[in-house]
Structure 1
Amino acid sequence: MTTMDSSPTALFDSYEHDFQQIIASIREKLEGDANNEGGEQRKAALRRVEMELDEADEMVSQMEIEIQGIPQSLKTQYTSRIKAAKADLQRYKKASKDLHATLARSDLLSSSSRPGMGPSTADEPYGSTSDRTRLLAGTALLEDGSRRLMDSQRIALETEEQGADILRSLRVQREQIQNSRDTLQRADNSIDRASGTLKKMIRRMYQQRVVTAAIIIVLVLLIGIILWAKLTR
C-alpha cells in the first residue's frame, strides 16, 4: 500500500505532470496526424487536439489554485513553472488554429482544382453549381473552426472565473482558520496565566499554614514553660 505524498507541492506537481503528458500528446498529433493524414483523419486529429487543449487549460487552472498553498519560499519557482506552462499552452493553441485555417484553405483549393469543372461565366461567376456548393462548404468549415475556437475561449474564461471563485473561497476559509487559531492561542495564554495565579495562591496558602503552625508551636511552648515555672515554685 503506497503512502500518499502530503507535501504542499504534491498536487501542483501532479497537475503539472498531467499537463506535460497532455502537451506531449498534442505535440505528437500536431506534428504527425494533423499534418500528414488525409482530410477526414486530419479533422479528427484536430478535434482530439481541441479536447486535449481544453484538458491542458483545466490543468493550468488547477495549478494556479494549488500554488496558493505553496510556501512563500518556493512560490517564485512554481510561479515561473506556471508561466512556462501557459506559454506552451498558448503556442499549441495558435498552432491548432493555424492548422484549422490551413485545412480549410486546402479544402477550398482542392475543390477548385478538381477535374470536370468548367470555366466561370458572366451568369455564374463562381463556376458551376457544384463549385458554389464547395465554396459554401468551405466557408461553413471556416465558420465552424471559428466557432470552435470561440467555444474554447469561452470555456477557458468560465474555467478562469471558477478558479477565481474557488481561490476567493479558499482565502476566506484560510482567514477563518487563522482567526480560530488566534482565538485558541489567546485562550491558551489566558489558561496559562490563570494556572500561574493558582499556583502562587496555593504556594502562599502553604506558607501561611507553616507560619500558623510555627506560631501555635511557640505559643504551646510558652504556655508549657509558664506552667512548669509556676509548678516548680
Structure 2
Amino acid sequence: MATLIQSYEQQYSVLTADVTAKIGRLKVGNEENREQLSREIQANFEEANDLLEQLELEYRGAGAGSRVAAYRAELQRVKDEYRSVLSNSATYNIETEDTYDDWNVNEQRQKLLDNTERLERSGKNLNEGYRVILETEEIGAAVLQDLSVQRETIQRSRGRVSLLCIQYS
C-alpha cells in the first residue's frame, strides 16, 4: 500500500510541476497556444484533484498520517497563480466564471466523495453492529440452553435428596 501512496505522490508531483511549467509558458504564449495551454492546465487541475482524492483514500485505508492537506494547499497556490496569470493578461479573453464553476464542481465532487465514504463507513458500522447482535443472540441462546440443563440436573438432584430423606426417615 505504501508503494501505491508513493506512486500517487510521485504522479501528483510530476503533474504539479507540469502545471507550473505550463503556467510559465502561458505567460509568454500566443493566443492559440494560450487557449490550448489553458485547457490542458484545467484538465491537469482535475487530474490533480482526482489524485489527491485517491491519496486521501489510501492514507485513510492505511491508517497513516496524511500529507494531503499540504498537497491541497500547494494545489490551491498553483490555482491562484493560474488565476493571477489569467487576470493579468489583457490579450487573453477567458470567462473566468466558467473556470471558477469548474473548480466549484470539483469541490462539489470532493464533498460527494466524502459523503459517499462517510455513508459507506456508516453502513459498515451498521453491519458490524448487526453481526454483534447476532453473536450476542447466539451466546444468549447457548446460556439459556445451559441453564435449562442445569435446572433439570438440580431438579433431579433435589428429587433424589427427597427420596433419600424419606427412606432414612
| Larger of the two Rg values belongs to structure | 1
Q: What residue number does 1:129 align with?
A: none
Name stretches of at least 5 consecutive residues in structure 1 with no aligned partner: 108-137, 209-233
Q: 1:145-184: per-residue Cα shift (whole Å, max 9, x none)?
A: 4123222232123212312321232122121222133124
What is the alpha-carbon distance in structure 1 between the residues aligned to residue 98 and residue 8 of structure 2?
25
Q: 1:98 aligns with which of 84, 87, 95?
A: 84
Distance (whole Å) between structure 2 residues aligned to residue 17 and residue 199 of structure 1: 65
> Quick one: distance in 1 between partners of 2:141 and 2:51?
47
The equivalent of 2:112 in structure 1 is 162
- Is the 1:65–1:163 contact (alpha carbons within 8 Å) kept by the matching residues of 2? no
Dislocated runs of 4+, deviation >6 Å: 194-201
**Letter in structure 1 aligned against 2:68:** I
Separation (CA, whole Å) in 2 of partners of 1:20 and 1:195: 63
- Per-residue Cα deviation, 1:116-137 (whole angstroms, up to 9, x for no partner): xxxxxxxxxxxxxxxxxxxxxx
| TM-score of the superposed pair, with normalisation by structure 1 | 0.53
Say which structure, 1 or 2, has more relative contact order (CA 8 Å, 6+ apart): 2
The 5 A counterparts of 1:78-157 are 78=66, 81-102=67-88, 104-105=89-90, 107=91, 141=93, 144-157=94-107
CA–CA distance in structure 1, aligned partners of residues 145 and 20 of structure 2: 67
- Tell me which amino acid in the other structure corresponds to 1:43: E
Would you say how many aligned residue pairs link Structure 1 and Structure 2?
Answer: 157
- The corresponding residue for 1:34 is 26
Give the C-alpha shift of residue 87 in structure 1: 1.0
Unaligned segments of structure 2, at least 5 residues: 158-169
- The structure that is helix-richer by fraction is 2
Classify 1:15/1:196 alpha carbon distance in 2 versus 1 (closer, same or farther; 3 Å).
Answer: farther
Tell me, yes or no, if the aligned pair for 1:16 and 1:63 is still in contact at 8 Å: yes
Identity %: 18
Shift of 1:34: 2.2
Amino acid at match of 1:52: N
How far apart, in 1, do the equivalents of 2:84 and 2:139 lie?
A: 65
